[in-house]
Amino acid sequence: MKYMLIWRATDESYGDMDMDFDKMLETIGRYNDEMIRAGVLLMAEGLEDAAESVVVDFSAETPVVTDGPYGETKELFGGFYILNVASKEEAVEWAKRSPFTGPGLKSEIRRITTIDEFPQDNEWIKKERVWREATGQL
């Protein structure tokens, strides 16, 4: 099963991270290497600063596009991992090993659904399956 670990932090917890960039890369690298050696890491990506973001808000009839930074936020989505593990419990155990912990830092864990879980006779699912097969995703 695939699970996404979504790393979130508050503005304050980002501000409290006072670590040398090389030290941060080493710390994350060791964590990533542990998952690579265990054969569970499929993907890991960090995100650019929220100040560089763009938000498309669909609250109105015409979508409203605004540049970052966000207005008031309680948590920011900072990066993610995609793991291939046997269970939700295993995904939780990997998240608990995060080298970055403290107030305001969280990881949300969500299972990634597969195309096989949708009605296979649906025309859109059939088209997506063809695309996935053609691009080597199945």
Distance separating alpha carbons of residues 11 and 40, to the nearest angstrom = 30
Give pLDDT tens digits for 77-136.
Answer: 889 999 999 999 999 999 999 988 888 889 999 999 999 999 999 999 999 999 999 999
pTM of the model: 0.83
pLDDT band of residue 16 (cuts 50, 70, 90) is low
**Both ends of the chain: CA-CA distance in Å?**
14
Domains located in the chain, CATH noted: 2-134 (3.30.70.1060)
Give pLDDT tens digits for 19-52.
Answer: 788 988 899 999 999 999 999 999 999 888 777 8
Print the SS3 string covering the chain: CEEEEEEEECHHHHHHCCCCHHHHHHHHHHHHHHHHHHCCEEEEEECCCHHHCEEEECCCCCCEEEECCCCCCCCEEEEEEEEECCCHHHHHHHHHCCCCCCCCEEEEEEECCCHHHCCCCCHHHHHHHHHHHHCCCC
